[in-house]
């Protein structure tokens, strides 16, 4: 017999427990019908971002609030599952949604520590919270969480629940789900992760910010060790495996590029197109867009443009620091980081705060660490280190400068260029864009110079006038007088004009071929006079140009109208492909998240479906002349590529405002441009040959690598006499006694 005094407390405990059970049961009965439907779980439709890929299938852009890769449970490595269970819910396969042992252990630990230090949420409870509930810490929410866990377990099996958890849980850096986190933190898919990396990811759900391996590598390492220890205690791994994983250094994505290449302008073009079609749903429905961009070409274009712009910028000297900050004697690294907030890095060009400076040494701080610059790295800004330099130009303590690693991996002073540039390259046979860089730095300006910048094309427009002349019966051997000319306001459409050749010299009577090779302005004007400005304005529309942007005045001969680099690409493609008009395209196909093709481009190919713009003979003769531009004319620097199948034309506008080079072979057509957004002179003698052609050459060296030379195939209807080409209808050379060719015979059939 128990003493009566013992029975009273037992009765109280029993009664209290019964009352509590009845109360919870009553509440559960009342709450259960109000619980949300599990439709969002059984018909799981996660927010998957818009992803943009290169032609090879490499990721080059992504848009969406959430980074997410949905993965089936049978595609998740066993080690990943083991690590998640070890970190979050070791009794997942034993409980029915609520781990009572875990609850009791957490309650005891919290009681002993006099605070809510431990939680006891199972994976099922976390699924309930992530899909249906807030994270507020109230008894009502916890009760709902428990009841939802029971409901989930009653309707889904363990594999389904675990799959939902693995795909839905937030793991920091906008990454939702372990597959997305794997790509975000380590730059590779789940099935390529090491045990050490798996343990890092498995430790993230508890506190994604605190255990972020990029931001807090030391805390992430401690959390990783905890997960590995729990895996060993559960028998998932051996002691040797645990120790080997612990010893591996953390190599996170801060050491890996996020995308396969710099394609920000391309990604933005695709984004705009998809949002126009699908509206805001484009960001969440998991669209995969495959472009025509080739990573090798795109990388080469980006690097060529950056190098070309910086080379031009350095030729014009150091302008001085970007700004200045006041540094107290007791400044901290946090102060320096704050000072750099408004000076974003531009890829390899870093902003830095100077703390010490003299003509032989600079000590500076850039994001993440200290750097030292010595004499070799100071040459570019030597004048700004002189004590006699003006206050706003002198590099001193508190100056914000730009630095980058030189060819010998030493830090050197540089600066952010003010000039802009663009390069666009395509296959002239079908218009597939191979590379496109719309500006020096997308973060600085999203203005896409390839598609939006209407600029004067200068002499790069002359081939279209010369092509019109061929249509009128003029041949490459036709003689025109390279001599001064005075034009009235009626002939120019504005003011009286006395045009000059670039060199300021004149050669007298020369052939049309020679005039194009050496870009003779006066001959180009006389050619336009001979064929008529109205005819020329109508004719250039064959190449895709807008007639309204090229008024029918003699200034058109020197490219005084307006065109975008993309329009110039369309025009030059006609010469490159034998006379066909193609439409440039960027998107080859669009797939949904399940791989279903929603759209596929069917390009119009030259010589098949494409519209013929000009006669094949015209395209052949023009290409032969533009090959001579590279062989012996203003584009001669391109001979460094060692190829005989290249043609092109330089372009420089009045007062050196714009520099162009437009060139091609039968497989690649590429347009480069350089100038200021607010037009200003590039400087005396800064021509298309000096500012745009070097970019073109560097890019084409890669674009044409491994590509065999393709000689021009002469079409029927052309004869060669005395080394010159003529259309068969005009087999005898035109009268060349006059400084100007005889007026074209309108009765002659156009070729």
Report the catalytic residues: 88, 459
According to DSSP, the β-strands at 597-600 and 587-591 are antiparallel
Rounded alpha-carbon distances, angstroms, from residue 253 to 124, 181, 183, 188, 298: 30, 11, 8, 9, 22
Q: For residue 454, which of 557, 542, 559 has the smallest C-alpha distance?
A: 559
Please tell me the distance from the alpha carbon of residue 646 to that of residue 701, in angstroms, as a whole number: 12
- For the record, the structure tokens of 508 come out as 């007298």
Please tell me the distance from the alpha carbon of residue 235 to that of residue 500, in angstroms, as a whole number: 86
The per-type count for the chain, helices as H runs and strands as E runs, is 25, 24
Residue 309, CB half-sphere, CA atoms under 13 Å: how many? Answer: 27
- Residue 170, beta-bridge partner list: 176
Rounded alpha-carbon distances, angstroms, from residue 486 to 46, 204, 458, 503, 508: 70, 77, 19, 18, 16
Please tell me the distance from the alpha carbon of residue 169 to that of residue 358, in angstroms, as a whole number: 53
For 367, the 3-state DSSP assignment is coil
- DSSP 8-state code for residue 262: -
Which residues, 6 or more positions from 208, have their beta carbon under 8 angstroms from its beta carbon?
170, 171, 172, 173
- For the record, the structure tokens of 91 come out as 């009794």
Is 527 within 8 Å of 474 (Cβ atoms)? yes
Which residues, 6 or more positions from 305, have their beta carbon under 8 angstroms from its beta carbon?
421, 422, 423, 437, 440, 672, 695, 699
């Amino acid at each position: 017999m128990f003493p009566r005094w013992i029975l009273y407390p037992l009765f109280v405990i029993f009664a209290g427990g019964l009352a509590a059970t009845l109360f919870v049961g009553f509440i559960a009965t009342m709450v259960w019908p109000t619980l949300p439907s599990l439709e969002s779980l059984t018909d799981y439709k996660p927010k998957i971002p818009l992803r943009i890929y290169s032609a090879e299938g490499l990721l080059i852009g992504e848009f969406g609030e959430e980074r997410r890769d949905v993965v089936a449970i049978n595609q998740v490595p066993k080690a990943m599952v083991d690590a998640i269970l070890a970190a979050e819910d070791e009794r997942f396969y034993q409980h029915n949604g609520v781990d009572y042992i875990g609850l009791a252990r957490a309650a005891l630990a919290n009681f002993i520590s006099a605070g809510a230090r431990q939680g006891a949420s199972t994976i099922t409870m976390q699924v309930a919270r992530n899909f249906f509930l807030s994270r507020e810490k109230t008894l009502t929410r916890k009760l709902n969480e428990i009841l939802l866990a029971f409901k989930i377990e009653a309707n889904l099996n363990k594999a389904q629940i675990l799959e939902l958890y693995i795909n839905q849980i937030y793991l920091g850096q906008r990454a939702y789900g372990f597959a997305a986190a794997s790509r975000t933190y380590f730059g590779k898919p789940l099935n390529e992760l090491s045990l050490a990396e798996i343990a890092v990811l498995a430790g993230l759900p508890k506190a994604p910010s605190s255990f972020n391996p990029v931001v807090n590598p030391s805390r992430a390492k401690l959390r990783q060790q905890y997960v590995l220890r729990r895996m060993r205690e559960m028998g998932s791994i051996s002691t040797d495996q645990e120790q080997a994983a612990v010893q591996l250094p953390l190599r996170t994505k801060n050491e890996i590029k996020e995308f396969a290449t710099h394609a920000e302008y391309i990604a933005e073009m695709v984004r705009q197109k998809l949002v126009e079609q699908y509206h805001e749903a484009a960001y969440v429905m998991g669209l995969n867009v495959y472009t025509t961009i080739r990573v090798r070409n795109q990388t080469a274009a980006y690097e060529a443009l950056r190098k070309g712009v910086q080379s031009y910028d350095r030729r014009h000297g150091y302008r001085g620091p970007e700004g200045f900050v006041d540094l107290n004697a007791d400044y901290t690294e946090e102060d320096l980081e704050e000072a750099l907030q408004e000076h974003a890095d531009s890829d390899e060009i870093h902003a830095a705060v100077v703390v010490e400076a003299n003509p032989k040494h600079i000590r500076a701080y850039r994001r993440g660490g200290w750097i030292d610059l010595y004499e070799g790295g100071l040459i570019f800004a030597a004048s700004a280190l002189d004590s006699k330099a003006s206050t706003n130009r002198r590099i001193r303590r508190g100056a914000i400068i730009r630095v980058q690693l030189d060819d010998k991996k030493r830090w050197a002073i540089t600066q952010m260029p003010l000039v802009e540039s663009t390069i666009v390259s395509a296959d002239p046979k079908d218009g597939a864009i191979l590379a496109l860089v719309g500006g020096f730095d997308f973060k600085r300006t999203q203005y896409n110079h390839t598609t939006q910048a209407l600029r004067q094309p200068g002499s790069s427009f002359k081939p279209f006038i010369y092509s019109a002349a061929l249509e009128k019966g003029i041949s490459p051997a036709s003689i025109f007088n390279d001599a001064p000319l005075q034009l009235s306001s009626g002939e120019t459409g504005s003011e009286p004009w006395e045009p000059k050749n670039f060199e300021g010299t004149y050669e007298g009577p020369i052939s049309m071929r020679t005039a194009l090779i050496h870009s003779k302005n006066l001959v180009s004007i006389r050619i336009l006079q001979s064929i008529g400005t109205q005819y020329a304005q109508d004719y250039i529309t064959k190449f895709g140009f807008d007639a309204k942007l090229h008024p029918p005045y003699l200034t058109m001969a020197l490219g005084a109208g307006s065109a975008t680099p993309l329009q110039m690409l369309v025009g030059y493609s006609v010469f490159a492909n034998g006379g066909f008009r193609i439409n440039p395209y960027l998107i080859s196909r669009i797939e949904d998240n399940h791989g279903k093709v929603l759209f596929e481009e069917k390009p119009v190919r030259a010589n098949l479906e494409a519209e013929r713009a000009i006669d094949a003979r015209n395209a052949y003769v023009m290409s032969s002349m533009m090959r001579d531009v590279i062989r012996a004319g203003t584009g001669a620097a391109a001979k460094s590529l060692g190829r005989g199948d290249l043609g092109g034309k330089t372009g420089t506008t009045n007062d050196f405002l714009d520099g162009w080079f437009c060139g091609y072979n039968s497989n690649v057509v590429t347009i480069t441009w350089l100038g200021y957004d607010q037009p200003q002179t590039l400087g005396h003698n800064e021509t298309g040959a000096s500012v745009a052609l070097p970019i073109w050459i560097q890019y084409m060296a890669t674009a044409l690598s491994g590509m065999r030379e393709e000689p021009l195939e002469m079409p029927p209807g052309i004869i060669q006499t005395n080394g010159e080409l003529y259309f068969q209808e005009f087999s005898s050379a035109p009268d060349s006694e006059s400084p100007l060719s005889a007026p074209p015979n309108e009765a002659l059939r156009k070729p």
